[in-house]
Amino acid sequence: MEPLTEHRPVNGPIVYGFLRLPKSAAARQAALTGALAEYCRSHELVLGAIFIERCNTTSAPSAAFTGLLDVLDLPEVYGVVLPAASHLGLKSIAAERRRQITGSGVRLMLVRGSKTPRRPPDRSRRRNTSSAPALDAET
């Protein structure tokens, strides 16, 4: 008897990671690499490679980012995964990098989403605390 599909290895969509680590210790790189690998494992993605930018560039494209853009032209690439949006670089170049990645037709995935403030709870939608039953006795 054949095993169930869930018990067979499945080749998920291929993604590539990108880390921007201008002045980071080896432990930080290992932790971030592990976070990308765990994200991909839990979302059934295949992590093809991780490109690491070590320079603190503000204008010229780095070799790591250029390499990332090159692999996005491959036919089976699903997306790019980052630990956080800050890994796209300084604000002066991050928006352009985001545009280049998404403009290539792949998804941009963040392990940690953007820090958007939560809306305060709507006080006008308070629970009804009356003791009246929700349903009639006949139902």
* CATH number assigned to the domain comprising residue 99: 3.40.50.1390
Q: Domain tally for the chain?
A: 1
Query: Which is nearest to 109 in space by CA: 34, 12, 28, 16?
Result: 16
23-72 pLDDT, tens digit each: 878 999 999 999 999 999 999 999 999 999 998 766 678 999 999 999 99
- pLDDT of 133 > 60? The answer is no
Give the percent of the chain with pLDDT over 70. 71
Range of the domain at 23: 12-110
Query: Which is nearest to 35 in space by CA: 98, 85, 82?
Result: 82
Q: How far apart are CA 1 and CA 54, in angstroms?
A: 51
- pLDDT of 104 > 70? The answer is yes
Q: Say which residue the tokens 């300084």 belong to.
A: 90
Helices (H), 26-90: 26-42, 63-71
Inside any domain, residue 136: no
Inside any domain, residue 120: no
**What pLDDT score does 3 carry?**
54
Q: How far apart are CA 65 and CA 120, in angstroms?
A: 39
- Residue 53 has which token pair? 């930018």
Q: Evaluate whether 109 touches 101 at the Cβ level (below 8 Å).
A: no
Inside any domain, residue 135: no
Instruction: Mark residue 44 as left, alpha or beta (left: phi above 0; alpha: psi -120 to 50; beta: remaining).
Output: left
Least reliable range by pLDDT among 8-17, 67-76, 91-100: 8-17
Q: Which helix (H) or strand (E) holds 97?
A: helix 91-103
Inside any domain, residue 56: yes
Inside any domain, residue 117: no
Give the pTM. Answer: 0.73
Inside any domain, residue 134: no
Mean pLDDT computed over every residue of the chain: 81
